[in-house]
């Protein structure tokens, strides 16, 4: 998965001035220096690599959480372990399923702000299954099916158009064929903490998302009273619009 996503980032960012425009000795004065990035279902932590590279070049201490995707509790534990290693205030960021994880894990006293990127944002008592059923039906959620072991996948034939329509076709197809499963118990587990009630919150809405409907993303953001940014991207906006996503995370790092 690592090589696939790094290749995707190279293809998408080649020829831009991205590296030279963000290269800096240190982050802005007063910024919270630590950033923890939590990935979604079906992919691994390298989905965050393009964003992580931008922020690291600006001097931030960036940590990529490796979710086991076996249960909500396991992913929250992995995130809390990452937070425990941070020295000082930390911006906690989640993509897709990662939004559920940061909602539960984000009450850590080190967390200064939450950033949701095309992410589910439950309230107390809600699960991913609850949100998926109550929101507008999408091509992506309709294509999620369990295997004989109860692990969930997105139909590989639907994955490229539903999840990664703005990635190069060969990259989207490779991701579809190398998915990491999400155990069904994670899908069904409700959160008993909603950290966004007490933390500054930011939301990046992907207006061409076919997994989490943009309308649902807007409802999540409005309910959380989040500072909202829109990007014209698919569910893979964290790769395709890495520069814009990184800018929102930096804004959160500067929020007081």
pLDDT at 32: 85
Helix H or strand E encompassing 64 = strand 61-65
Backbone angles phi, psi at 156, to 5 degrees: -55, -25
Whole-model pTM: value is 0.90
What CATH architecture does domain 2-11+31-254 belong to?
A: 3-Layer(aba) Sandwich (3.40)
pLDDT at 163: 94
* Pairing assessment for the beta strands 151-154 and 90-95 based on DSSP bridges: unpaired
> Which of 137, 132, 139, 98 is CA-nearest to residue 115?
98
| pLDDT under 50: residue ranges of the chain | 1-24
Q: Which two tokens stand for residue 136?
A: 């507008």
Query: What residues does each domain of the chain span?
Result: 2-11+31-254
pLDDT at 66: 95
CB 176 within 8 A of CB 193: no
pLDDT at 25: 53
pLDDT at 79: 98
> Which of 167, 139, 165, 166 is CA-nearest to residue 154?
139
């Amino acid at each position: 998965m690592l090589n696939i996503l790094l290749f995707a980032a190279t293809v998408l960012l080649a020829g831009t001035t991205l590296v030279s425009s963000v290269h800096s000795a240190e982050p802005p004065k007063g910024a919270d220096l630590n950033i923890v990035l939590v990935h979604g279902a079906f992919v691994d932590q390298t989905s965050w690599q393009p964003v992580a590279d931008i922020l690291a070049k600006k001097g931030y201490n960036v940590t990529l959480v490796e979710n086991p995707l076996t249960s909500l509790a396991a992913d929250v534990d992995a995130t809390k372990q990452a937070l425990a290693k941070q020295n000082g205030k930390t911006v906690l960021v989640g993509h897709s399923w990662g939004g559920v994880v940061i909602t539960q894990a984000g009450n850590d006293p080190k967390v200064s702000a939450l950033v949701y990127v095309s992410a589910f944002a439950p309230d107390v008592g809600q699960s991913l299954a609850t949100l998926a059923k109550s929101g507008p039906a999408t091509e992506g959620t309709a294509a999620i099916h369990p295997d004989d072991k109860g692990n969930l996948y997105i139909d590989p034939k639907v994955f490229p158009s539903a999840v990664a329509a703005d990635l190069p076709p060969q990259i989207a197809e490779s991701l579809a064929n190398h998915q990491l499963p999400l155990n069904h118990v994670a899908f069904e587990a409700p959160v008993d903490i909603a950290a966004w009630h007490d933390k500054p919150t930011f939301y990046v809405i992907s207006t061409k998302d076919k997994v989490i409907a943009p309308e649902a993303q807007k409802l999540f953001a409005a309910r959380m009273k989040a500072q909202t940014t829109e990007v014209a991207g698919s569910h893979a906006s964290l790769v395709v619009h890495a520069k814009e996503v990184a800018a929102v995370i930096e804004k959160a790092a500067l929020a007081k």
